[in-house]
Structure 1
């Protein structure tokens, strides 16, 4: 059951670019401290030096199919659905997804 909740949370975060994209807007939500995970830790958006755009189509492929990030590098992941079917991006290791 934990893995379903984790996958759902990741899907919501990946698809929430419109709500997180309004950096100049004020909100009353308290900041959540980033937590270290096996695959990394959330970085400050202003620290991202490059954006990686993941494009998804209905042939169930991502473009690019892989990318490389240096240890300690902060990148912005931008997700584009170019198909008609809903897609999701899940971040994590197999161990954390199996929980």
Structure 2
């Protein structure tokens, strides 16, 4: 019975975070935030130099990426054009969860710190996809100005073990 208070506390803190987050976006209904808050979240989540969420109807190329338990993305070096909308077709070939989060290295490191503090945090952002072992999914992203964009698995320990990649935007 010892685990019950911890479970209750974690559920309460999750609701508190969701309520705080929805209040931040001007939504009062937690459910509403998850279903209709995407437009708000786009502005909030990523006015990143890495780009922005892409329109799935305007994808110009699909790139297949495999994540594995050797803490690697295959491939981990990708080249795209500035302004291009890319669909990343993701497969977790491992047995443990992995994710791909797109951003600048500074954003990724900051986000990784947050993940260390709240390891059970689930990503619901347009620049991230989390997959359980054996799962597949996709992520559509529009790349901004030329330069280098990074991606990493921010599950604690994974980025540190080398689960990172680079996207060259030309």
TM-score (norm 1): 0.61
Which residue of the partner structure matches residue 74 of structure 1? 85
Higher helix share: 2
Worse-matched range after superposition: 41-50 or 89-98: 89-98
- The Cα RMSD (Å) is 1.9
5+ residue gaps, structure 1, are 1-27
Aligned residues: 72
TM-score (norm 2): 0.38
Higher strand share: 2
Larger radius of gyration: 2
5+ residue gaps, structure 2, are 1-34, 111-170
SS at match of 1:97: helix
1:29 aligned to which of 36, 40, 63: 36
1:86 and 1:31 mapped to 2: Cα distance?
Answer: 24
| Greater relative contact order (Cα < 8 A, sep 6+) | 1
Distance 1:30 1:61, change over 3 A: closer
